[in-house]
Amino acid sequence: MTRILVTGSKGTLGRPLVRELKHRGHEVWQLDLQHQADEMYIRADTSSYRQLERVFEQDYDYVYHLAAEFGRINGEEYYDTLWQTNVIGTRNILEWQKKKRFRLIFASSSEIYGDKHAEILSEDIPLYHSIIQQNDYAVTKWVNEIQCMNFEKRFGLEIVRLRFFNAYGPGEHYHHYRSVVCLFCYRALHNLSYTVYKNYHRVFMYIDDFIPTLANVVDNFIPGEVYNIGGNEFRSVEDLSNIILERLGLDGSRVTYMPQDAHNVQNKRPDISKASKAFGHNPGVTLEEGVPRTIEWMRQVYASTVKH
Amino acid sequence: MTRILVTGSKGTLGRPLVRELKHRGHEVWQLDLQHQADEMYIRADTSSYRQLERVFEQDYDYVYHLAAEFGRINGEEYYDTLWQTNVIGTRNILEWQKKKRFRLIFASSSEIYGDKHAEILSEDIPLYHSIIQQNDYAVTKWVNEIQCMNFEKRFGLEIVRLRFFNAYGPGEHYHHYRSVVCLFCYRALHNLSYTVYKNYHRVFMYIDDFIPTLANVVDNFIPGEVYNIGGNEFRSVEDLSNIILERLGLDGSRVTYMPQDAHNVQNKRPDISKASKAFGHNPGVTLEEGVPRTIEWMRQVYASTVKH
């Protein structure tokens, strides 16, 4: 049996990942910030080295390090927490890895590509092109990758880096820093206004296409490698909005259409062939299938407040 | 009269800079971590936004932001303090700049060039070449430059970045994270062993060649610009050691000669023509002149402990 620790286990990706890994027969330990009843859960803040001491009293074969402050605007508004959790926190995990020698799976982000307007983003771009990320969240994720690479080189640590491109679906609870799918669905369901930026494209990936890939990493772990984990569906956010409006029978009068978000990055599209080969990554759920499932999940979770 | 704040004013560079700026007739305010008697000094930790509130109750024309955790090994051993002070601290200063609109002079480092083996390092290299800095200190300084660039672009802030290459001379008190000149002089004077890495070259800059340049920045402040501030003397550390040994009449039996420092960067040489034009930067003091002055200063400061 493989013993696995998942940091950030109560997050949007942590919860389904823990479920999947348990389902596959692994011994799964959890770490997050809240208190929990579960005896295989340890409350700790990764930015506190001391709190991690207890976590690493036992050994793990693999650690999925998902614990992080998430998102561009969240990162700007909570930059102090961002740097503490993402950068001091990840360095703490690396220090423990140096001592305990588990294998580390690090959750990076598509944000590290900054505003690189490559037709298709392949994993080695940042090694050959200088990228100035435009917000602190993106910078922390690239810093984390540098920390990982330096620790691999200096101490022979075994690390795999994964760059996540927007996943969406059931399990993502609303607040205003969440993914665009979560935002639009929630706000449309509640008859709240939202803004659609025109000509703004993203690759969308449904959560059920994502979690099996993530769980597969322990079965084909190649130290030092880095993989894009993204979807196949390259669609405009206007398309997304229209799917939601149609599903809910709304006319879009609560939607504002704008030319472009100055602080955000347009048209990010990953090359996912490396993850396809290594982990059988093969996203197939379309927005037309995934969005209704997300809406139905939200109707249940927010049953007392939804308007449609 | 120009009102200037110097953060890190009690550091090796802060002290002589404050002296020079006062000498030129500026109104100079100081910020550092210790308590001080001086009424134009405010104790504050830049990583604490709240402690900065009092500092910025008054306005400044210019802020020299020198407050930082310093050095490669120090940065590795105190990485938590490093990230808090250098990155959260600098972001705090930028947030205050956004409110108060002073002009900022940011102290960056030659370390941002990583192991780039360009014959001559010109300021625009990191914009065209991907550089993976090999230690957290170097990464924090590059992150700070990215933060500066992003705030310039997003909020129209006026910032000049300066990349310091090793300065040395009187005023640099010994501990084992300090410059190679400080280390060798102190240890030779105390009959302590030290290690010389062969074929390892650096550009050396005497403190008196450095401080006037630094003070000149307020007289020709061009927002958005970045400058290397380094010396002309490209010498091996073995040369440096030999100058010290000769001065002290030592035979070098306490020196260990080694092939190379695995974690350090070889042969960094800046293009300083931009700073020469803008600020009249013209370093002229040779190691043969500067090292004896440094040794004489150390003899006084460490009079009770020196052996030679």
ipTM of the complex: 0.92
Q: Between chains, do A136 and B263 touch, taking CB under 8 Å as contact?
A: no
Neighboring chain B residues of A138 at a CB cutoff of 8 Å: none
pLDDT digits (tens, 9 = 90+) for B209-250: 999 999 999 999 999 999 999 999 999 999 999 999 999 999
Q: Between chains, do A134 and B150 touch, taking CB under 8 Å as contact?
A: yes
What is the rounded average pLDDT of the residues B166-181?
A: 93
Rounded Cα gap, residues B116 and B265, in angstroms: 9
Q: What is the pLDDT of residue A109?
A: 96
DSSP lists the bridge partners of residue A194 as A255
Closest CA to A93 of A38, A36, A156, A45: A45
Say whether pLDDT at B199 is over 90: no
Say whether pLDDT at A116 is over 90: no
Q: Which stretches of B37-166 are assigned E, i.e. beta strand?
A: 41-43, 62-65, 103-109, 159-164
Rounded Cα gap, residues A160 and A275, in angstroms: 12
Minimal CA separation from B32 to chain A, in Å: 20
pLDDT band at A261 (very low <50, low <70, confident <90, very high): low
Chain B residue whose CA is closest to A133:
B146
Neighboring chain B residues of A139 at a CB cutoff of 8 Å: 143, 146-147
> Could you give the strand order of the β-sheet that contains A233-236, starting from the edge strand earlier in sequence?
A167-168, A201-206, A233-236
Neighboring chain B residues of A135 at a CB cutoff of 8 Å: 150
Mutation for B interface: A81, A95, A116, A146, most B CBs within 10 A? A146
Q: Between chains, do A130 and B135 touch, taking CB under 8 Å as contact?
A: no
Rounded Cα gap, residues A130 and A126, in angstroms: 6
Q: Count of CB atoms within 10 A of residue A70's CB?
A: 21
Minimal CA separation from A21 to chain B, in Å: 32
- Give B 125-144 residues with CB within 8 A of chain A: 126-136, 139, 143
**B308 occurs within a structural domain:** no
Minimal CA separation from B141 to chain A, in Å: 12
Minimal CA separation from A231 to chain B, in Å: 27
Residue A217 DSSP label? G
Q: What is the pLDDT of residue B262?
A: 56
Q: Between chains, do A84 and B87 touch, taking CB under 8 Å as contact?
A: no
Domain around A101: 3-237+243-301
Residue A50 touches chain B, beta carbons under 8 Å: no
Express as a percent the part of chain A with pLDDT over 90. 91
Within 8 A by CB and 6+ apart from A46, the residues are A7, A31, A52, A65, A67, A85, A89, A90, A92, A93
Q: Between chains, do B130 and A133 touch, taking CB under 8 Å as contact?
A: no
- Give A 200-239 residues with CB within 8 A of chain B: none
Say whether pLDDT at B266 is over 80: no
**A71 occurs within a structural domain:** yes
Rounded Cα gap, residues A106 and A141, in angstroms: 10
- Helix, strand or coil, per DSSP, at residue A277: helix
**B269 occurs within a structural domain:** yes
**A307 occurs within a structural domain:** no
Q: How far is CA B154 from CA A64, A132, B150, B158, B185, in A?
A: 35, 14, 6, 11, 46
Q: What is the pLDDT of residue A89?
A: 98
> Smallest Cβ distance to A130: which of B88, B127, B150?
B127
pLDDT digits (tens, 9 = 90+) for A168-177: 999 999 998 8
Q: Between chains, do A136 and B128 touch, taking CB under 8 Å as contact?
A: no
Cβ distance A168 to A182 under 8 Å? yes
Neighboring chain A residues of B153 at a CB cutoff of 8 Å: 134
Closest CA to B142 of B165, B166, B114: B114
**A308 occurs within a structural domain:** no
Q: Provide the CATH number for the domain around residue B139.
A: 3.40.50.720
Q: What is the pLDDT of residue B272?
A: 97
Q: Between chains, do A87 and B88 touch, taking CB under 8 Å as contact?
A: no
Neighboring chain B residues of A130 at a CB cutoff of 8 Å: 126-131
Q: What is the pLDDT of residue A266?
A: 60
Cβ distance B284 to B168 under 8 Å? no
Q: Is the dihedral of CA B49, B52, B54, B59 positive or negative?
A: negative
- Helix, strand or coil, per DSSP, at residue B148: helix
* Two structure tokens written together for A298: 């939200």
Cβ distance B66 to B7 under 8 Å? yes
Q: What is the pLDDT of residue A119?
A: 74
pLDDT band at A14 (very low <50, low <70, confident <90, very high): very high
Burial class (CB in 10 A: 0-12, 13-18, 19+), A109: buried
Residue B49 touches chain A, beta carbons under 8 Å: yes
pLDDT band at B65 (very low <50, low <70, confident <90, very high): very high
Minimal CA separation from B126 to chain A, in Å: 7
**B307 occurs within a structural domain:** no
Q: Between chains, do A146 and B154 touch, taking CB under 8 Å as contact?
A: no
Helices assigned H by DSSP within A24-70? 49-55
Q: Between chains, do A88 and B83 touch, taking CB under 8 Å as contact?
A: yes
Say whether pLDDT at B166 is over 90: no
Rounded Cα gap, residues A34 and A38, in angstroms: 11
The domain total for chain B is 1
DSSP lists the bridge partners of residue A164 as A109, A229
Residue B78 touches chain A, beta carbons under 8 Å: no
**A306 occurs within a structural domain:** no
Q: Which pairing describes strands A159-164 and A103-109: parallel, antiparallel, or unpaired?
A: parallel
pLDDT digits (tens, 9 = 90+) for B99-136: 999 999 999 999 999 986 667 899 999 999 999 999 99
Cβ distance A148 to A98 under 8 Å? no
Mutation for A interface: B47, B52, B78, B88, most A CBs within 10 A? B88
Please count the residue pairs, one from chain A and one from chain B, whose beta carbons lie less than 8 angstroms apart. 62
Q: Between chains, do B87 and A88 touch, taking CB under 8 Å as contact?
A: no
